[in-house]
Amino acid sequence: METYEFVLPSMAMGLGVVIVLFAIFYYVGYRSAKITTTAEDFYAAGYSIGPVANGLAMAATWASLATFMGVIALIYALQAPFVYLWIQWSLSIPLLTLLYGASLRRMKAFTPASFIKVRYGNEAAIISIAWMCLAMVMYALGQMIGLGMAFEVLFGIDYIYALVIVGIATVGFITIGGMYGASYNAAFQMVVMTLAIVVPMGAIMKSMGSAGWWFPPLAYGDMVPGMLERLPDFFDMRYDYRWYFALIPAFTMGPIALPHLAMRIFTSSSVKSARWSVVWFILFLGLLFSGSYTAGFAGNFFTAETGMNIEPADMTIFALNVYYNPAIVAAFVIGGAVAAGLSTIGGNLMAISGLIGSDLMGIIRPKMESKKKMAYGYAALGIGGVAAILLAFNPPAFLVTSILWAFGLLATAVAPSILLGVWWKQTNKTASILSSLVCGIIYIIISPHVLGDIVVGHGLVAALGMSGAMVTVPLAYASLVILSLLFNKMGVTAVDMETKKMVDRIHGWGSDYDEARYNGSIMPAAIVVICVIVFIWGLQPWPG
């Protein structure tokens, strides 16, 4: 079969679009810097972002460079089950808001670690900061490498130069603007991303003769035969039920603890506004994600119709635009991909900034004034960005093996302490520390990325952390419940009255306190029973 290699038709146009976009990002950053005067402004945009802008920013922060570049390769690898995996990402922010986002917004937290610190104390907060920073560095690193590689392929410059140029330009505007800049830039970036994926795809589909060009995200049914010609078993539900179930512990429960997503809730102008942001988030994200599935189908349809394979597969969306659309449109699509990478890096760096500059420095220097807190935030943001660029020169293998794997780590080591801490007064500090450390380390050990000999599952399910999370996530929840009961009975760091009152307060009860509230035995007992079943199921041999 012939190959169709992607070549940018007009480097000047591509560069022009990228320069214009960066100019806008810097302008927004500059304007945002002018209104950033307090720590609340820097870390939470003054708790002022409205629902539409926040919904757009949430979607942009969540949708990474993979939406433009990685999706096609993943469609080839996992086929229809990949689409099911991708669909459930939409649950992240709705679940986060429902289960703890609204409560933490009420206490005006900057990051989930702010809550851990108040709920369990400094030691537990430091551990959760370490886990979350590891995940954020893996995430930002993946985006940084992707942007460097994209610029290398698009503009034909050496990877290291591409990385340094795009890296410094990116860290610059994010550092200037703080959370105001990150929020308004992300909202704008989401508009660019959506237009860049959906509108040109309509023109491509029309050129291909598809009758569904008028609504690319859902009307590509006549491309199905093209997909089946290339991948005849594309729609087969090839895995057993456990594979689909395993998406829940790793990929649904993990992103709940992603600090850059939680921070989007905290920037809302109110708890009610945060809930409406979630509605907009689902609308915009669904449009973008569905557009990316269409791109995958169009790539296969192209191959079926022309007999040419697109190389490299990651560049499919760009190649289709170069083949069917004018050069300026292809350049705009490149701008969309750049926006996708930048919006996620922006979220990652703001999270690192909040975790280090506010939470960690708040532990080291508890009496710090707001101005100082903000200064540390700027410093942490800049240093985090430079570290990501330096790491991307020659990244350690375990950091780039799988960003998705890190979701299972957060689902194991961070999410149980947050969720049970919000919903169950008996959740104990020592139990939280032990459960987080031990189960997190077990998750790392039983993955194929570090030791390699002791692995639960194998192949892709192990590499993505699905099989590992199906063991360690239930272990983390069950151990946290059981150890909490044990330590409270023994009087080891028993939960004090002030902490219990805080639990009532963040649910909206004000100063009204009731010992029986969030203190029952049915919920923890049910969690333990469900977790034991899932844990045993996860330990059963995984089919090859």
Pick the binder of another protein from 27, 76, 82, 84 (CB under 8 A): 84
DSSP result, 249-286: IIIITSGGG-HHHHHHHHTBSSHHHHHHHHHHHHHHHH
Residue 235 sits in the site that holds another protein (CB under 8 A): yes
Residue 312, preceding peptide bond in cis (omega within 30° of 0): yes
Label residue 368 exposed, middle or buried (CB < 10 Å: 0-12, 13-18, 19+): middle
Give min distance, CB of 344 to another protein, in A.
20
User: 478 vs 295, 519, 523, CA distance in Å?
Assistant: 42, 16, 12
CB 243 within 8 A of CB 466: yes
The encoded tokens of residue 376 equal 């540390």
Residue 525 sits in the site that holds another protein (CB under 8 A): no
Q: Which stretch binds another protein (CB under 8 A): 87-95, 162-170, 336-344, 467-475?
A: 87-95
Give min distance, CB of 285 to another protein, in A.
8
User: Is 4 in a helix, a strand, or coil?
Assistant: strand
Rounded distance between C-alpha atoms, residue 157 and residue 179, angstroms: 32
Find, among 379, 340, 28, the residue nearest to 182 by Cα. Answer: 28
Residue 498 sits in the site that holds another protein (CB under 8 A): no
Q: Which stretch binds another protein (CB under 8 A): 113-121, 212-220, 322-330, 527-535?
A: 212-220
Site for another protein in 238-257 (CB under 8 A): 240-241, 244-245, 247-248, 252
**Which of residues 140 and 247 has its CB atom nearest to another protein in the complex?**
247
Pick the binder of another protein from 122, 222, 230, 485 (CB under 8 A): 222
Rounded distance between C-alpha atoms, residue 426 and residue 322, angstroms: 59
Give min distance, CB of 192 to another protein, in A.
21
- In whole angstroms, what separates CA 5 from the centre of its chain? 31
Rounded distance between C-alpha atoms, residue 428 and residue 217, angstroms: 47
Residue 276 sits in the site that holds another protein (CB under 8 A): yes
**Which of residues 173 and 289 has its CB atom nearest to another protein in the complex?**
289
Rounded distance between C-alpha atoms, residue 407 and residue 398, angstroms: 14
CB 329 within 8 A of CB 318: no
Q: Which stretch binds another protein (CB under 8 A): 35-43, 144-152, 214-222, 481-489?
A: 214-222
Give min distance, CB of 335 to another protein, in A.
25
Pick the binder of another protein from 512, 532, 536, 539 (CB under 8 A): 512
DSSP result, 479-494: HHHHHHHHHHHHTSSP
Pick the binder of another protein from 508, 525, 529, 536 (CB under 8 A): 508
Length of the chain: 544
**Which of residues 25 and 289 has its CB atom nearest to another protein in the complex?**
289
**Which of residues 272 and 371 has its CB atom nearest to another protein in the complex?**
272
Pick the binder of another protein from 73, 224, 304, 445 (CB under 8 A): 224
Segment (H or E) for 309? strand 308-311
**Which of residues 244 and 378 has its CB atom nearest to another protein in the complex?**
244
Query: Helix, strand, coil shares of the chain as percentages rounded to 5?
Result: 80, 0, 20
Pick the binder of another protein from 74, 75, 83, 446 (CB under 8 A): 83
Q: What are phi and psi of 434, to 5 degrees?
A: -65, -45
Give min distance, CB of 476 to another protein, in A.
18
Pick the binder of another protein from 12, 77, 218, 328 (CB under 8 A): 218
Q: What are phi and psi of 440, to 5 degrees?
A: -60, -45
Residue 237 sits in the site that holds another protein (CB under 8 A): yes
State the DSSP code for 311. E
CB 180 within 8 A of CB 46: yes
In single-letter form, the type of residue at position 271 comes to V
User: Is 518 in a helix, a strand, or coil?
Assistant: coil
Give min distance, CB of 57 to another protein, in A.
16
Rounded distance between C-alpha atoms, residue 138 and residue 154, angstroms: 24
**Which of residues 209 and 508 has its CB atom nearest to another protein in the complex?**
508
**Which of residues 213 and 276 has its CB atom nearest to another protein in the complex?**
276
Residue 271 sits in the site that holds another protein (CB under 8 A): yes
Q: Radius of gyration over alpha carbons of the chain, in Å?
A: 23
Q: Write each residue from 38 to 77 as x if it is in contact with another protein (CB under 8 A), else as -, in one continuous string.
A: ----------------------------------------
Number of residues forming the site for another protein (CB under 8 A): 53
CB 155 within 8 A of CB 165: no
Q: Which stretch binds another protein (CB under 8 A): 111-119, 233-241, 452-460, 477-485?
A: 233-241
Give min distance, CB of 203 to another protein, in A.
20
Give min distance, CB of 224 to another protein, in A.
5
Rounded distance between C-alpha atoms, residue 274 and residue 335, angstroms: 29
**Which of residues 271 and 329 has its CB atom nearest to another protein in the complex?**
271
| Binding stretches for another protein (CB under 8 A) | 80-81, 83-84, 87-88, 90-91, 94-95, 98-99, 102, 218-222, 224, 235, 237, 240-241, 244-245, 247-248, 252, 271-272, 275-276, 278-279, 282-283, 286-287, 289-290, 293, 507-517, 523
